Structure formats: C-alpha cells, structure tokens
C-alpha cells in the first residue's frame, strides 16, 4: 500500500489508530508531477498540501522578475504555501517540481476534518510545525550572521541528502549570492 509511507511519517510523531489510517487513505490523492511543473501559483490560494513519496519540490517567490528559492522539500516531507494554505488567502509563494515527483495531496477541507475528528492530528500538527519553525529560525540566523561560505556549509548540512540534486542557480538564490560566488566557494572545497 503506497500510503504506508505517509503512515510511517505520521508514526514518527503520533500513534495512528486504524480509524485515522482509514480516513487518511480515503482523503489523500496520489499525484505525479512532471519536472518543471508548477504545483502552486502565488495567484491562487493554496488549497492542498503535498506529501512527497519520491522527488523534489521547491518553494520560491519572485523579486524583480527573479526566482528566489526559499525552501526545498524531498521524500517524506509535506509542502504547501503555509500562509496561503492555513489562512486561505493569497501570499507570495510559488511551488514547482525540480524533479519528476510522486506525491500524495491532502485538501485543506480534509485536513480540517481530520484535525476536528482526531485529536492526535492536532498533536501531529503541533510537533511537525515545531520542526519546521526550528529550521526557519536557523535559516534566518544563517542569512543574517554568517558569511557566504558558512551559509553554503549550513545549506549542505541541512539538505545533506538532497543538495546535489538541486540546480546551482536555485542554491545560489537560496543563499542570497550570485551563482559565480557559489562556484568559487564550491571550488575551495
């Protein structure tokens, strides 16, 4: 059963009852996303969250016509445009597929149902959001207080299992440096 991967992810945070497994199985939808496919546009409210079975997605925003990578998500992670998804309003983020990606999607109304009817889902949401929050605080500190070389080393540490799969231009925009600067830093390693 492909959704077992989702169950294993949830089991890291909560005990899954058979009833919750059944509801999840009925509410998640399998999706295949082509490399380069736009998964979410900032022109729309984000209504689905995606659990990545295999592949790589990127969250980014546009600044003066340039794509600025904000976050990368790979196997066994959920991705959405957080503010848009939770507050049901437009925000600045776009999501695209860096690789062909197999994912499950969960609609916001289905998530609402699960949160309302399964108290353990609220626990899951709180614990998993704590992990994301810690990552974002590390990212902010890295951007504010470290050199380009230190930011790159931090990036490689945080994304150690996937950094080689991410195009250099996207890595450079994530780090807030020119691609040429990134090439020089990488040459020093």
Distance (Å, whole) CA 19 – CA 182? 49
Instruction: Note whether residue 92 is domain-resident.
Output: yes
Please give the pLDDT value at position 2: 59
Task: Say which residues have a Cβ less than 8 Å from residue 68's Cβ, sequence separation at least 6.
Answer: 60, 61, 62, 173, 174
Instruction: Note whether residue 93 is domain-resident.
Output: yes
Could you tell me what percent of the chain has a pLDDT over 70?
A: 98
Distance (Å, whole) CA 126 – CA 75? 21
Distance (Å, whole) CA 13 – CA 124? 6
Instruction: Note whether residue 146 is domain-resident.
Output: no
Per-residue pLDDT of 49-62, as tens digits, reads: 999 999 999 999 99
What tokens were used for 135?
Answer: 């990552």
Containing structural domain, residue 30: 4-118
Total-model pTM: 0.89
Distance (Å, whole) CA 137 – CA 127? 16
Query: Is the confidence at residue 131, as pLDDT, over 80?
Result: no
Instruction: Note whether residue 74 is domain-resident.
Output: yes
Query: Is the confidence at residue 1, as pLDDT, over 60?
Result: no
Query: Which is nearest to 80 in space by CA: 107, 101, 114, 102?
Result: 107
Distance (Å, whole) CA 159 – CA 142? 14
Q: Tell me what the pLDDT averaged over the chain comes to.
A: 91
**What's the CATH number where 113 sits?**
2.60.120.10
Please give the pLDDT value at position 140: 82
Per-residue pLDDT, averaged over 21-34, amounts to 94
Instruction: Note whether residue 10 is domain-resident.
Output: yes
Looking at the 3D structure of the chain, how many domains does it have? 1
Query: Is the confidence at residue 14, as pLDDT, over 60?
Result: yes
Per-residue pLDDT of 133-167, as tens digits, reads: 777 788 888 778 889 999 999 899 988 999 999 99
Per-residue pLDDT, averaged over 9-17, amounts to 89
Contact 6, 28 (CB under 8 A): yes
Instruction: Note whether residue 65 is domain-resident.
Output: yes
Among 100-109, 141-150, 175-184, the minimum mean pLDDT is found in 141-150
Distance (Å, whole) CA 72 – CA 55? 11
Work out whether the CA dihedral 9, 81, 57, 105 comes out positive or negative: positive
Instruction: Note whether residue 148 is domain-resident.
Output: no
Please give the pLDDT value at position 35: 98
Instruction: Note whether residue 69 is domain-resident.
Output: yes
């Amino acid at each position: 059963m492909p959704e077992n991967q989702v169950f294993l992810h949830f089991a890291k945070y909560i005990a899954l009852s058979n009833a919750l497994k059944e509801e999840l199985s009925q509410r998640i939808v399998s999706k295949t996303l082509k490399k380069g496919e736009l998964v979410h546009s900032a022109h729309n409210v984000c209504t689905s969250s995606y659990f990545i079975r295999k592949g790589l997605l990127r969250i980014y925003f546009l600044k003066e016509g340039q794509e600025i990578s904000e976050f990368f998500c790979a196997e066994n992670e959920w991705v959405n445009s957080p503010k848009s998804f939770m507050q049901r309003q437009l925000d600045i983020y776009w999501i695209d597929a860096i690789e062909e990606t197999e994912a499950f999607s969960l609609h916001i109304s289905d998530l609402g149902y699960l949160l309302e009817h399964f108290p353990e889902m609220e626990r899951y949401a709180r614990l998993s959001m704590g992990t994301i929050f810690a990552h974002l605080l590390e990212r902010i500190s890295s951007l504010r207080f470290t050199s380009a070389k230190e930011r790159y080393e931090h990036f490689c540490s945080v994304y150690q299992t996937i950094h080689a799969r991410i195009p250099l231009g996207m890595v450079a925009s994530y780090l807030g440096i020119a691609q040429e600067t990134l090439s020089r830093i990488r040459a020093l390693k």
